[in-house]
Structure 1
């Protein structure tokens, strides 16, 4: 594979989608062949699953059902869109990937990170980003950003309690410590320009200095200790 696979994570309202859009423009201006995509979604079947998962009317959805739906959407998205882009040598910027399931369903929902990893291990078939940028922010600040942004969709996860979002953040921070070689933590509470500058520097360091364009997960290595 000749492409680069980067994912971007964060609690609700962290600003990752805005950062990805700015980063896409920055990289395109410098001649990189960039593809931006998102999870859940990115392709027709996965977008249909997204509409189901995030529908705020389905508050009765079981946590395991939620985790399985995310994994199913991820599989189709990976097969149809991410892998072909990597094979074509493109830079893939993915708004969320497996870490979201580990933080939200595995940790915050209490399903168990190992259990959710096993579901996703089957779905991703060894593909993992070589770099994950985690935008860290206090959930209260992030949720307030959402309330002030009338253009952003309000989904089912936005309606969860503050304690749930606190657990999501805690889950992400634990993942960042466990996978420090892959996950870079950026303080997203700072001014937008400062966050963007650090994001650019982080991504460019991997694009310019990495000889290994994507990472294949070691299936024998437990993702959580």
Structure 2
């Protein structure tokens, strides 16, 4: 049995994670891998309820600290009930966002110190970290324009450009500090060009295991 692989997708608003997640799942299936697709916040009943609070509670003010802790409460449940069992069974876990998003949104965006996030990360996750993270990077204005064409904005999407500029910088800084794990995908290019970038990374990573 092939060992389980933990692959996460990250990026700002409008970067195309959801579209490309389908492409990645199909590619992995063709490679003979069993894939569990999940998301954060979400993935469990508790996680989906937390998602609804975090994304769609228009009138509810949530402090940055509470936002982070709610994210990690949902993540703990997600890890225990979905991620670790799937990895133990040799499956590929393909997750739309994980802890890099907390560093980017609650850290970079909301201004929480990364050291505080790291304490909770280590407590909740132990040694668990993604094997590979695909960072879909797009300039803030272009990404927001794409996102605005989809649906009514959620709590995060209603923030100002400066918020998303800080998020993008945090993501890129993390990618620069962990180049083996975090691979940048230029999401501003055409869909075909984006898919070629994805395949190049996946072939290197999956076939190198």
TM-score relative to the length of structure 2: 0.95
Question: Residue in 1 aligned with 2:75?
Answer: 74
Question: Residue in 2 aligned with 1:140?
Answer: 141
Deviation per CA, 1:75-122: give whole Å up to 9, x if none. Answer: 100110011110110111110011000111112211111111211221
- What is the Cα-based RMSD across aligned positions, in Å? 1.4
Question: Residue in 1 aligned with 2:49?
Answer: 48
Query: What is the distance in 1 between the residues matched to 2:59 and 2:53?
Result: 8
Question: Residue in 2 aligned with 1:218?
Answer: none
The runs of 4+ residues in structure 1 deviating greater than 3 Å are: none
Question: Residue in 2 aligned with 1:117?
Answer: 118
Question: Residue in 1 aligned with 2:129?
Answer: 128
Question: Residue in 1 aligned with 2:88?
Answer: 87
Deviation per CA, 1:155-182: give whole Å up to 9, x if none. Answer: 1100011110000001111111111121
TM-superposed CA distance for 1:71, in Å, is 0.7
Deviation per CA, 1:45-89: give whole Å up to 9, x if none. Answer: 111111111124145210001000111111100110011110110
TM-score relative to the length of structure 1: 0.89
Would you say how many aligned residue pairs link Structure 1 and Structure 2? 208
Q: 1:137 to 1:56 in 2, by over 3 A?
A: farther
Question: Residue in 2 aligned with 1:209?
Answer: 208
Q: Is the 8 A contact 1:106 1:115 kept in 2?
A: no
Question: Residue in 2 aligned with 1:197?
Answer: 196
Gap regions ≥5 residues in structure 2? none
Give the 5 Å matches for 1:109-188: 109-150=110-151, 154-188=153-187
